[in-house]
């Protein structure tokens, strides 16, 4: 950030001193706004913005479904507030049934808003504290911790107020979980956003050892590409059984408004579905009700709710032989990612290459399992109170698959790079020359 740099020398040329001083003044005013109100208001905006969106969508859905024939606008607003609360981990009772599952799509939306607002807060307070030279010399800089704490406190206050105002004797949301998730979002997402926006991250990150940065890079690439693979698998399953999804919609006799709301709900649950698909591809699978299981080896199902996304579930019974080979996908993915990083940042020491690939894979597996914990929960009465992936098994399979793949990929590319005399390359070229060519 410009505000953290050393003051530039004044220009003395004619006609430039005035414009330069005006630009410096505007920059100083934009980056030295009062820290306490700026961070506090930022936390309120980050919480209220998605809350208002949820309430507006609930009101629109209320009009689309029954045109205001049943219920009241205040009831629709309360439903929207409950949706925002469930995205922050709050459990909500619906007709006496406790719903504990989180719509992770809405949680990601809240996290994105927190990041954007936190980044803007960081820019606005970047002029506070010591400059870059003093920070490099070891001067204590508490601008980001103070701002992140204030940001988180006001965010949590909005969550508590929302839980109090939206609560009824029947719904009874859990404000303690809302406070916990507000702290996770405020400190885990808002804090880094403020650090990047204020320019502190650009000063602190070079101090992180390169090996740690490489491990984080490997883990991040594995997770992003794994999410894409899971998305492709989910879409393929829906396309192959699209008739079942269409049949579910027809049996619900849903009009255009209800179908639109169903699509919106499916989008909010898309991250949950990706984590279910992740558990399936890794091998352990998941459950969609007490006494059921869905894995690559066997599928045991029972009566299911009328929800179109469930059409992606495989057919009940013994699965085809090729589904067992799906567990090689995470190993191959980790090998490709670790090999790519090894090519971009060559490390010719065997142990360093192996550690980077293995640690990146294990880190990706741990993060994936930690997120998978929140994929399931109770979504209805009776047997539907047990829905979700087998988290501990996902942890074991993920760290094993990603870890082994990371080691193999890094060592193979390292071996290729260490072939300084070209014997391996020469042998491969000789084989390629002897292969028949197309006419």
Last residue of a domain, one of 207, 231, 254: 207
**Nearest CA-CA partner of 274 in 234, 245, 236:** 234
In a domain, 8, yes or no: no
Query: Across residues 158-166, what is the average pLDDT?
Result: 93
Task: Check pLDDT > 70 for residue 377.
Answer: yes
- The total of structural domains in the chain comes to 2
Average pLDDT score over residue span 170-175: 84
Q: Do 240 and 192 sit in the same domain of this protein?
A: no
Grade residue 384 by pLDDT with cuts at 50, 70 and 90.
confident
Residues 194 and 220 in one domain: no
Angle between helices 391-417 and 210-240 (to 10 degrees): 120
Q: Give the residues across from 389 on adjacent strands.
A: 286
Q: Please say whether the beta carbons of 118 and 193 come within 8 A.
A: yes
The average pLDDT across 381-394 equals: 90
Residues 23 and 166 reside in one and the same domain? yes
**Same domain for 418 and 357:** yes
In a domain, 169, yes or no: yes
Mean per-residue pLDDT over the chain, rounded:
85
Same domain, yes or no: 301 and 339: yes
What is the pLDDT averaged over residues 330-334? 96
Q: Which residue has the higher pLDDT, 344 or 139?
A: 344
Q: What is the 3-state secondary structure (H, E, C) of 384-423?
A: HHCEEECHHHHHHHHHHHHHHHHHHHHHHHHHHHCCCCCH
DSSP letter for 291, please.
Answer: T
**Residue 116 CA from chain centroid, whole number:** 15
Residue 71, domain member (yes or no): yes
Residues 269 and 402 in one domain: yes
What average pLDDT score do residues 249-278 get? 85
Residue 55 has pLDDT above 80, yes or no: yes
Clarify whether residues 91 and 163 are in a common domain: yes
Per-residue confidence (pLDDT) for residue 29, from 0 to 100: 59
Domain for residue 11, yes or no? no
In a domain, 7, yes or no: no
206-249 pLDDT tens trace: 888 989 999 999 999 999 999 999 999 999 999 888 888 888 77
Given a cut of 50, whether residue 12 has pLDDT beyond it is: no
Give residue 345's pLDDT.
85
Over residues 185-213, mean pLDDT: 91
Residue 3 lies in a domain: no
Does residue 217 share a domain with residue 203? no
The reported pLDDT for the residue numbered 25 is 61
Look at residue 6 and tell me whether its pLDDT is greater than 60: no
More confident residue, 20 or 208: 208
Structural domain ending residue among the three candidates 192, 207, 222 = 207
- Greater model confidence, 47 or 69: 47
What does the pLDDT read at residue 138? 63
Q: What is the pLDDT of residue 10?
A: 38
In a domain, 381, yes or no: yes
At 1 the pLDDT is: 43
Q: Are residues 170 and 282 in the same domain?
A: no
Q: Residue 137: what pLDDT?
A: 61
Q: pLDDT band at 15, cuts 50/70/90?
A: very low
The more confidently predicted of residues 14 and 123 is 123
Question: Which residues contact residue 305 at a Cβ distance below 8 angstroms, ignoring those fewer than 6 apart?
Answer: 379, 380, 384
pLDDT of 177 > 60? The answer is yes
Name which residue leads in pLDDT, 139 or 331: 331
pLDDT over 90 (residue 49): yes
- Tell me if 2 is assigned to some domain: no
- Residue 30 and residue 177 in one domain: yes
Domain that holds residue 122: 19-207
**Residue 182, pLDDT score:** 95
Residue 34: the pLDDT is 86
State the pLDDT at residue 255.
72
What separation, in Å, do the N-terminal and C-terminal C-alpha atoms of the chain show?
60
Task: Let me know whether 197 and 266 are in one domain.
Answer: no
Which whole number is the average pLDDT over 156-182? Answer: 91
pLDDT of 140: 74
Could you tell me which residue, 410 or 246, shows the higher pLDDT? 410
The vertex-114 CA angle with 227 and 193, nearest 5°, equals 85
User: Do 202 and 217 share a domain, yes or no?
Assistant: no
Among 207, 226, 260, give the residue marking a domain's end: 207
pTM: 0.86
């Amino acid at each position: 950030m410009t505000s953290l740099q050393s003051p530039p020398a004044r220009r003395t040329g004619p006609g430039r001193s005035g414009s330069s001083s005006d630009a410096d003044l505007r920059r100083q005013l934009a980056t030295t706004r009062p820290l306490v109100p700026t961070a506090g208001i930022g936390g309120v905006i980050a919480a209220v913005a998605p809350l208002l969106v949820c309430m507006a969508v609930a009101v629109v859905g209320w009009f689309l479904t029954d045109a205001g024939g049943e219920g009241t606008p205040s009831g629709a607003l309360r439903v929207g507030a409950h949706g925002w609360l469930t995205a922050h981990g709050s459990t909500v009772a619906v007709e006496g049934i406790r719903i504990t599952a989180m719509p992770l799509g809405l949680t990601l939306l809240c996290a994105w808003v927190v990041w954007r607002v936190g980044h803007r807060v960081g820019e606005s307070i970047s002029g506070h504290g010591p400059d870059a030279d003093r920070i490099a010399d070891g001067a204590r800089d508490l601008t980001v911790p103070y701002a992140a704490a204030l940001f988180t406190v006001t965010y949590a206050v909005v969550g508590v107020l929302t839980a109090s105002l939206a609560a009824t004797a029947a719904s009874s949301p859990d404000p303690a979980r809302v406070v916990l998730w507000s702290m996770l979002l405020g400190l885990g997402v808002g804090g880094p956003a403020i650090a990047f926006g204020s320019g502190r991250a650009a000063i602190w990150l070079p101090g992180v050892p390169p090996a740690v940065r490489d491990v984080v890079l490997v883990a991040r690439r594995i997770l992003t590409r794994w999410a894409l693979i899971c998305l492709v698998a989910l879409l393929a399953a829906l396309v192959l059984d699209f008739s079942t999804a269409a049949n579910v919609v027809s049996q619900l006799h849903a009009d255009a408004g209800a179908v639109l709301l169903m699509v919106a709900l499916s989008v909010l649950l898309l991250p949950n579905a990706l984590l279910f698909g992740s558990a399936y591809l890794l091998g352990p699978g998941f459950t969609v009700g007490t006494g059921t299981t869905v894995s690559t080896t066997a599928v045991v199902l029972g009566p299911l709710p009328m929800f179109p996304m469930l059409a992606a579930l495989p057919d009940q019974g013994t699965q085809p032989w090729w589904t067992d080979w799906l567990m090689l996908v995470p190993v191959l993915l980790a090998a490709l990612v670790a090999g790519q990083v090894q090519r971009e940042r060559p490390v010719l020491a065997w142990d360093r290459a192996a550690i980077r690939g293995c640690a990146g894979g294990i880190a990706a597996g741990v993060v994936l399992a930690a997120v998978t914990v929140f994929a399931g929960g109770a979504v209805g009465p009776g047997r539907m109170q047990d829905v979700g992936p087998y988290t501990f098994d996902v942890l074991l399979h993920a760290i094993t698959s990603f870890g082994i793949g990371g080691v193999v990929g890094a060592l193979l590319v390292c071996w290729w790079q260490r072939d300084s005399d070209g014997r391996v390359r020469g042998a491969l070229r000789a084989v390629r020359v002897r292969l028949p060519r197309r006419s």
